[in-house]
Structure 1
Amino acid sequence: MSKILISACLSGFPVRYNGSEKILIDQTLQQWREQNRLVICCPELAAGFATPRPPAEIAVRSSGRSVLSEGARVMESSGQDVTERYILGAYLALEMAEKNGCRYALLTDSSPSCGSETIYDGSFGGKMLEGYGVTTELLRQHGIEVFSHRQILQLIERVMNQA
């Protein structure tokens, strides 16, 4: 049985930038938790960020891939460049996933780290664009299938079909 890396905020921990959680309640997730199949991770906390912290976005019209390979930056709303911490968090999440045999990840969408369908556009104007966060991109590059919190049914189907 493969394990699933899951965002700590989806597991009820108040670790989001604003100190909140984004708990995802699902019977199958509860069953996987009881089977010790969920590996809880927050890339931002692993990289040393505090909670709460200023919102951060990947540079205008860029994505996690751009951060990892093209020098795009992750900036906080305060203007502080936090790129290196987001890259560190991504590698720590990858290490945790690999050490625990995770083939899948369920991450919080829209985050500059965990976004797996959409991310904010970098303008701090609340606009979204299709794209991946830094952690999502790195996990995908290493063969881990990433699902957003809105894709829980697709993840369950994928995991059940793999069994």
Structure 2
Amino acid sequence: MILVSACLLGHNTKYNGGSNDHPLLIKYNELGKFVAVCPECLGKLPIPHPPSEIIGGSGKDVWTEKAKVISNQHHVVTANFIHGAERVLEIAKQYKIKAAILKERSPSCGVHQIYDGTFSDKRVSGEGVATALLRKNEIAVYSEEEITEKLLQKLLDENHA
């Protein structure tokens, strides 16, 4: 089994109530080899909710309390993001997950990039809160932007999904 951001599979879990449909992942979802998760939903944030960004670093820094997650309404939502990431890890352990495909630039799921915390649409290198926790627990994390049919088939084969 492979962990996948629910929004990529057509679930309306995006902060604004929409989804980030990824046609290839939706096609392969029919095989029943994915476990859909949304760290923000699992962190008890409503859908929709105000957009959030990491201030002072990346998801890795959130875990060491060097950074925090705030909404564009200036509410600190770090606890929601931490709780959601912990729930995602619990699910990953339950299913013996070794790989995840997550939504790039999300403050939860960003793999290579996140937004810089100024709500100005500026991207920086970094990872989201859930991605950092999964990596810390030796789960390989891929962005939907790097997924090709060849890589997806390789991941399915490697993970005996």
TM-score for both structures, normalised by structure 1? 0.90
Matches within 5 A, 1:54-93: 54-60=50-56, 62-93=57-88
Cα distance between partner residues in 2 of 1:43 and 1:155: 24
Other-structure match for 1:104 = 99
Match of 1:129, SS? strand
Q: Is the 8 A contact 2:104 2:112 kept in 1?
A: yes
- Cα drift, residue 151 of structure 1: 1.2
Cα distance between partner residues in 2 of 1:24 and 1:47: 23
Report the AA paired with residue 135 of structure 2: R
Other-structure match for 1:123 = 118
Instruction: Confirm or deny that 1:145 pairs with 2:143.
Output: no
Q: Which runs of 5+ in 2 are unaligned?
A: none
Report the AA paired with residue 48 of structure 1: K
Q: Is the 8 A contact 2:2 2:156 kept in 1?
A: no
Q: Is the 8 A contact 1:57 1:112 kept in 2?
A: yes
Cα distance between partner residues in 2 of 1:5 and 1:160: 11
Report the AA paired with residue 36 of structure 2: I
Cα distance between partner residues in 2 of 1:19 and 1:138: 25
Instruction: Confirm or deny that 1:39 pairs with 2:35.
Output: yes
- Cα drift, residue 158 of structure 1: 4.1
Report the AA paired with residue 142 of structure 2: F
Identity of aligned residues (%): 37
- Cα drift, residue 76 of structure 1: 0.3
- Cα drift, residue 102 of structure 1: 1.1
Distance 1:137 1:11, change over 3 A: same
Cα deviation digits, residues 59-83 of structure 1 (max 9, x gap): 04x1001000133110000000000
Cα distance between partner residues in 2 of 1:57 and 1:29: 27
Q: Which runs of 5+ in 1 are unaligned?
A: none
Instruction: Confirm or deny that 1:30 pairs with 2:27.
Output: yes
Cα distance between partner residues in 2 of 1:79 and 1:30: 38
- Cα drift, residue 34 of structure 1: 3.5
Other-structure match for 1:7 = 5
Q: Is the 8 A contact 2:10 2:26 kept in 1?
A: no
- Cα drift, residue 30 of structure 1: 2.9
Q: 2:128 aligns with which of 127, 133, 155?
A: 133
Cα distance between partner residues in 2 of 1:50 and 1:76: 13
Dislocated runs of 4+, deviation >6 Å: none
Cα distance between partner residues in 1 of 2:136 and 2:21: 27
Please, what is the CA RMSD of the aligned residues?
1.6
